[in-house]
Structures are given as C-alpha cells and as structure tokens.
Amino acid sequence: MPDQQDTLIEISGLKFSYPNLDVLKGLDLAVPRGKVIAILGASGCGKTTLLRLIGGQLRPAGGHVKVDGEIIHELDTNALYEMRRKMGMMFQQGGLFTDMSTFENIAFPMRERTNLPEELIHDMVLMKLHSVGLRGAHGLMPSELSGGMARRVALARAIALDPMLIMYDEPFSGLDPISLNQIGNLIRKLNDALGVTSIVVTYDVAESLKVVDYVYFIADGKVVAEGTPDEVRASTDPFVRQFVDGQPDGPVAFHMPGQPLADELSLAS
C-alpha cells in the first residue's frame, strides 16, 4: 500500500461501539490518493459506520481517522465543515430529495456551499448530469427515475463540487445487471477523469473486483484480509474464499451467537 506521502486517509487503531455492540475493534487501513478502494464485509460488520467516522458524523472510542493530514475527530465545527466540502457521498438507495427535480437535486449542494451565480450553476448541473449520461433527465422527479437512473443522479450529486474524496455506500445493491455494470464503470471512469479518491463500501465482491484497485475485508471489527483484485481472486484465505465463492459455511457465521434453539423454544419447557 501507499507510503505516507501518497496516503489520503490513514485509519489507525479505530474503535467504535454502539450500546451493547462493539463494531470496530482496532481497525487499521490506508487509502491512497487517486485510487478506488473497496471495503468488503458481511452486513453489520461496520462498513457504513466506518464511512460515518471518516465524515465526522461519529466520534471514535479509540484510535483515529486522519484525512488529508487532519485527524477528523479533533477538528472544530468550522474545520469539519470545510473538510466535508471536500467529500462527496453517494448514499444507499441514492438518497435523493423526493420533492426536488433531478436538476434541483444536483444544484442543491452548489447553492448551499458556494456563492456561484445561477447561470454558472445551471451549466455545471447540466455538465454533471451529462457525465453520468442523464442530461436529458434534468426535468424529471425522482419518482420518475428507474433505480439505475436514480443511482446515476445520486452519483452526479456526489461529484457536484469536484470533491477530493467520494464515498459510495452500497452502490450496487438492488440493481439489475445492466445498471450494475453502468454504475461500476461510472465509478471507475469518474475517479480517473476527475483525479479523485474513491471508497466503495459493499458486500458485492464480483462487481467491486471489476473496478477497484485494492480491497480490504472487514470482520469482527478488524481488517482480516486485503489485496489487489488479482490477489483476492487467487487467495486461499478461508475468509476471502467464502466471500468470493459465496460459500454458506466458513469464518462468517450465518447465525448470530445464541443459546441452542431447542432451549429457547416454548415447547422445550
């Protein structure tokens, strides 16, 4: 992975817990500038929580997240706001404002965070939509968009202010094969064209391996495996093989720990 100078995000000893649930237990990873990095793991392993810690929505119980040389949880309100201006986020299911048109959804962060004239905002919105192939849909409402189109609009909004970092939270979930391929290709092409850094949080191994530069696997609150797509495909690590091959049995248990079923059923008493 990258040396210190080429690292945009450094995560060291990161710990975080919800009530009665330890999520991250000393996580360490690095995100190099200009690359697409995938964070893979089973549902509930802390992937979305990690994005919230990077964005400063949550504070760690231990360790730190350093972005562009700044420790996020040590920033004051103004400095955190300025850091967030350098980040774009594509939420699960898109997260579009349902009462705003496609155009207005893209224009929203420009109006909120800049003093640009409306004429320039108009042109910038159309250019962002053009980059995801949806300039012709600028007048449509979110309810008039297909699932794949809505994700592409959400992607256009994520790049509205030309961020240095774009974070994708489950960008492939719920999409048909054609839309999956479109979104994956867009993530790769926009990352390279804009010179940004991208983090893709997902449980979709097959799609992520097509477009990313490096992969981290998270389980039990820590990184348990990592490597390039080729290294992941060739890995013999039981955890990696379970994910790549979709095996039901392996290091990741299907059932949460608990008492034997017979002991908990009322018929057993």
Question: Which amino acid is present at 228?
Answer: T
Are 92 and 170 in contact by the 8 Å Cβ rule? The answer is yes
Rounded to an integer, what distance in angstroms lies between the CA atom of residue 137 and that of residue 153?
A: 9
Give the residue extent of every domain in the chain: 4-34+41-86+164-176+198-268
Question: What confidence tens digit (pLDDT) does each residue in 88-145 have?
Answer: 998 876 689 999 999 999 999 999 888 999 999 999 999 999 988 899 999 999 999 9
Please check the confidence at residue 63 and state whether its pLDDT lies above 80: yes
pLDDT at res. 2: 47
Average pLDDT over residues 34-43: 91
Rounded to two decimals, the pTM is: 0.86
List % helix, strand, coil for the chain (3-state, nearest 5).
40, 25, 35
- CATH, domain 4-34+41-86+164-176+198-268, list 3.40.50.2300, 3.40.50.300, 3.90.79.10, 3.90.1200.10: 3.40.50.300
